Amino acid sequence: MLKRGLLIGGALLAVSSAGCAKEDTDARATMTQREKDSLLARSPIPGAKAVGKSMTVADSATARMNRIDSAQQNP
């Protein structure tokens, strides 16, 4: 019985250590803030849809501002 518990504990430790591998953090470190926000927006975390909505609103405001700027430059 004790050996079985040690085996299960060892397996859990190995799995959790594999999840903390340095390779994964390097991939995340090269992501832009927009890519990170996009991943967050698609996650099942409560409030994640608000991140996606705010990104859409920000994109719309930027596009609107660019249209206004180009209209003012080309009379």
Note the pLDDT tens digit of each residue in 24-61. Answer: 556 667 899 999 999 999 999 999 999 999 999 999 99
- Count of helices and strands (H, E) across the chain: 4, 0
Residue 35 lies in a domain: yes
Residue 25 lies in a domain: no
Residue 60 lies in a domain: yes
pLDDT of residue 60: 96
Residue 1 lies in a domain: no
Residue 3 lies in a domain: no
Cβ proximity of 41 and 48 under 8 Å: yes
In the predicted structure, residue 68 carries a pLDDT above the cut 80: yes
Using CA atoms, how far apart are residues 21 and 42, in angstroms rounded to an integer?
23
pTM of this prediction exceeds 0.85: no
Residue 8 lies in a domain: no
Cβ proximity of 28 and 20 under 8 Å: no
Domain count, the chain: 1
Structure tokens at 75: 């009379």
On the CB side of 9, CA atoms within 13 Å amount to 6
